Each structure stands twice: as structure tokens, then as C-alpha cells.
Structure 1
């Protein structure tokens, strides 16, 4: 299979490195509070906690570990990623990808994959890739999971997907893209590399396919990681994918899978 770019497969090497600098920052805050009073102490406290929130809520943040958001290539090629399946849309998505000779990585939810194991096998049979997108997809609270719950969401998904696939997933996408400080340890344990994106159309909530494609087109560039979804409540993900693939053809872009290569965190 022709793969125009390589992606550094980088499971976190030091998943608890953040804890050291955070502890040091809080000792500094305590010292300032004791020496200069609450006004200075509070002024020092807020930035340290703001950094933790930013690291969690910003999908491309590398504060807690490495994350891929774009790939290096001179070719007009993108990495198309599809979240939240398998679903009622999967078969139609696969047919569209075949029609455009496009390849994609499906970031699947393990509970849904077990219910639709035939679709999971079909994804692989047609030459696409499967990534880990959590066990149960707790979209409202994934960002706030503690270490045990986070380990279960990632580890249980990896175990169940590995039992259904010829090879276990190597890529992970955080639910809603938000990875808190406790995400890195299970990624390291299971040899997973986190993937974000550089182009998205908000198709999980936007029902107008033209708006979805227009937003993605603004951020298109060689090596872009494109985020799409399937199975959304508005029911128009397949139509949005049809418009996107047609537009990519018009612009001379192709969708290909990256070749993983070893990398250092």
C-alpha cells in the first residue's frame, strides 16, 4: 500500500513527568503565599492550575505527552480519521471510501465494536485501520476521569479490540480530544500513540454538509489530519463524507494511511 508519509509512533515515555513540575509549582505558590500574603499567592496559584486545564482541554497540547496533529509530507495527501463507530453509517462510509480509492483510520468505541464485530472485520478487510477511541465513550466526563477510570477506559478498549482484530490498535484518540494528566500512563502501558487533528468540520453537531466541508477546506494542507464522525444524531455524516471526498478529489488531495515509525517521546 502506498503511504506518502510516516508518523512517529510515540507512546509516552515519561507519563508522570508532569507531576514533578506541578508539585514544584505548588511548593513555590505556598512559599509566595507565606512570604507575601494571599494576594501574591493567589496570583501565582491561578496560572499553575490554568496550565493544567489548558493541557487537558486543548486537543493538541503536549503538556502531558506526545500527540500527533499533522504529518510531514510534500505530497497532497491527508490522513482521514473517522470517530465514534461502528455505526449505521459504517457500511456506506466504506463504500464511499472504496469509490474514491481513499483509506481511513476508524477510531472506534469498543462497546460498539463488540456489538458490530462484522463491521469491524469489514473495515480491516477493505484495507483501513482501526484505532482505540475508548471503551464506552463517556463524552461528558472523559476529560475529568481519575487514574483508575481512565486506565479502564483505555485498557479495556484495547483488550476487547485486540480480541476482535488481527492486530491490536496502535493509535488512540481521546474522547472529544481531551486528554487529562492520567491519560499518558495507560497509553504507555498499551503501546498507544495519541492522535489529534489539524482540520475538522464539526460534523458531529453540524448538520449542513457544505459548512462541514468549507471548515475543513480552510485548514487543508499536505499532511493534514482530518477529523470526521459517523453515527451522529442528525443523520448526515454520510452525506458530509460524500461531499468531502468529492472536494478532496477536485483539489488533488488523496486520503492515505501513514506508515508508523519508531520515535522518541
Structure 2
């Protein structure tokens, strides 16, 4: 049996990437000096492109550990719902209850402070919470410098600890993009970064059937399913209902990572 503790892997050496990057730049200089720019320039570009790739790819482990799926072969999935709390939260909770499903809500700190009763209701009904930044700067979260990144994580962690009664242990980067400064911010709070293995783009796609089709193509035992609430198109609860119905039909159970059904 795999416990939540074994899945919970905060960054242990959050600045290790800096030493590796510094060594790579030293190699670039040495090659450029010894052989010339025709070899040095491609090496320089490759080293910087690696940083860009590690930042923009949600499942990248270049800068910090990340959980992209649950272990084992049991027909279980981890439903994760981003961007709340919102006006949709109550309807989403009712749907989860109706299907006997559990989910982790990755909450935005400022929105949690605006809807503390919704946060408490999530916890009361037995669901999990995660840190999803303080004010969800979707256009530039990936480019935040160290102090601003730390503030996003710190302030959200404080807001969620206040509203939920305990600090979360999970973190999801905004739009999934985690730059080199996310790891140190997570290490301060013992947070584990969570990505996903199945998504339907329901934050922007208003058609529940299209969302479901995308998710189903990626569905496997242990999948971490990315969903949202509060999207402008207003159809997130309807989409969740379709997903839950399909999970039931396929004999999948939506569980939290610390439940006994999560097996190695």
C-alpha cells in the first residue's frame, strides 16, 4: 500500500539546478574559447533552451520533483479541481457527493479569503485542498523572480491555513509552468508539486463532450485528472457531471492519494 507520505516529496535540494547551470555555462565558455563560436553558440543555446523547457513543461522534474500520476494498477484516479473557490463550488461538491467521489481543490489564496465558507465546506465534506498561488497571475507566473514567487506561495499558504484550518501539502503551478524559483518556495512549506496526466482544457472549452473525449483518451489507472471551476463559460459543473458519469461507467473510483485504494 502506498501512503500519502511516500507520495509527498517536497524539494530537498531546491538550488541544485543553479550549480548545474553554472557548470554548464563554464563548459560553454571553455568550448567557445578552445574551439570557437560554431560549437560554443549551439551549446549556449541548448543550455538556455533546457531552462525554458523545464519551466514550460508541466511534468518537468528539472527544477523540482513533481507528481504526474498515482502509482499502481488499481482503477483509481485523482480528481484535481483548480482555480476556486468560486460560485461553482457548491454545485461541484454536490456532484462529488452524489457519485461518492473525492477530489483535491487547488485553491487561489485571494479567492479563498473572499469565500472562506466555501473552503470550510470543501474540508467538511472530506475533500483535499492544495495551494494554487495567491492571485493566479496566469500570464506571468512562469517568469516570476524569486521574491515574487515566494510571496505567491507564502501568501496563499497563509490564506489557506486560515480558511481551511490547516496548511495544504500539495501545490500546483499556475498553468502548470514552474520556473527554477518554485522549488525553493515550496521547500519552505514542505509542499509537493502536482501536475497531471489527463486534461480536457475545460477552463476554455465550453463543450462538456469535447472535454470528456480528451480526458477519456488519456485515462489510465492512477491518472491525475485536471479540471477547473469558475470558468467564464459557466459549464464546469456540467463537465464534471459528464466526467463522473463516465468514470462510473468505466468502473473507476475517484480517490485522494492517502486512501487505501491507492496501491503500489
Query: By the TM > 0.5 criterion, same fold?
Result: yes
Residues of 1 paired with 2:73 and 2:17: CA distance? Answer: 34
**Counterparts in 2 of 1:166-181, with a 5 A limit?**
166-181=165-180
| Pair 1:61-2:55 in alignment | no
Unaligned segments of structure 1, at least 5 residues:
261-265
Question: What CA deviation, in whole Å up to 9, does each residue of 1:182-233 have, x standing for no partner?
Answer: 0000101011000000000010111110010010001111111000000011
Gaps spanning 5+ residues in structure 2: where? Answer: 260-264
Please name the residue that 2:190 is paired with. Answer: 191
Equivalent positions of 1:13-32 (< 5 A) are 13-32=12-31
Aligned to 1:239: 238
Q: Equivalent residue for 2:155?
A: 156
User: In structure 2, what is the equivalent of residue 263 of structure 1?
Assistant: none
SS of match in other structure, 2:227: strand
Match of 1:108 in 2: 107
Query: How many aligned residue pairs are there?
Result: 258
How far the C-alpha of 1:5 sits from its partner, in A, is 6.6
Corresponding position of 1:76: 75
Instruction: Look up the match of 2:223.
Output: 224
TM-score using structure 1 length = 0.95
Question: What is the match of residue 262 of structure 2?
Answer: none
State the distance in 2 between where 1:8 and 1:130 align.
16
Q: Give the 3-state SS of the residue equivalent to 2:67 in structure 1.
A: coil
Secondary structure in 2 aligned to 1:156? helix
Equivalent-residue separation in structure 1 for 2:179 and 2:148 (angstroms) = 12
Counterpart-to-counterpart distance in 2, 1:86 and 1:163:
14
Using the size of structure 2 for normalisation, the TM-score is 0.95
* Aligned CA distance change for structure 1 residues 5 and 74 (closer, same or farther; 3 Å): farther
| 1:131 matched residue in structure 2 | 130
Contact 1:4 / 1:75 at 8 angstroms: preserved in 2? no
Q: Extract structure 1 runs of 4+ deviating beyond 6 A.
A: none
**Displacement after TM superposition at 1:4 (Å):** 8.1
Note the C-alpha offset of 1:36: 2.3
Question: CA-atom RMSD, angstroms?
Answer: 1.3
Counterpart of 1:208?
207
> 1:113: Cα distance to partner?
0.4
CA deviation vs aligned residue, 1:103-140 (integer Å, no higher than 9, x gap): 00000000000000010011001110110000010000
- CA positional deviation for 1:35: 2.1
